[in-house]
Amino acid sequence: MTTPLAAEAPSPRGDDARPEVWLRGNARPALVLLAAVVIVAGLAVAVVVITDPPWWVAGAVAGGVVAALAAATGLVWAAAQPRIVRRGGELEIRLSPLGTRRVPLGIVECVFPGSQPWAPAADADDAGGRRVNTLVLRLAERAAAWRSRPVAAAWGAWTDGNVVFDGRWCEPLSPDVARGIATRLLESKRGIAVEDDA
């Protein structure tokens, strides 16, 4: 099923192409949030049971608990989804719980490892020198329409033709992972070029 964000560009090779996961997601940060929501929800239910408030207060608390649990569970599901999937001649990029963006392989130039300060608003000194591994997907200069997209800031960034994946929200990043994805990118682009020449 295609999400609203995924319908950005038509697939040149069709939607039935077998998906190939290049970068997996990481649900652990969302699971921590879900655990916190469960604890707060449990406390809220305990307070309602102990205090026996009017029915409308109990109903409002119950509604809030259900909504919070549903939102946190949805975030866990989204966080567990792959960050990069190749499907035919496109890459599906997930940098938001709300859906994916489809990018033509032809405009993806390269992939390389990077890093950023642990806290986005801090420089390396403020974060005690702690850094987070990232993966950068560089898009072609000629692809002006793909220069930037709105994303969930905790998951990464998409600005100036650089798609940056935060290592806390995907599988552990290393130079080997980046090399593996770069190799897959090169092989995929060669395969598409051969198909186009045939």
pTM of the model: 0.79
For the segment 82-103, what is each residue's pLDDT rounded down to a tens digit?
A: 999 999 889 999 999 988 999 9
Both structure tokens of 110: 């390269």
Residue 32, H or E segment? helix 28-51
Residues 55, 57, 62, 67, CA torsion sign: positive
What letter does residue 75 receive in the DSSP assignment?
A: H
For the segment 102-150, what is each residue's pLDDT rounded down to a tens digit?
A: 999 999 999 999 988 877 665 545 556 788 999 999 999 999 999 999 9
Count of helices and strands (H, E) across the chain: 3, 8
Virtual CA dihedral for 111, 116, 118, 120, nearest 10 degrees? -110
Which residue, 106, 82, 111, is CA-closest to 6? 82
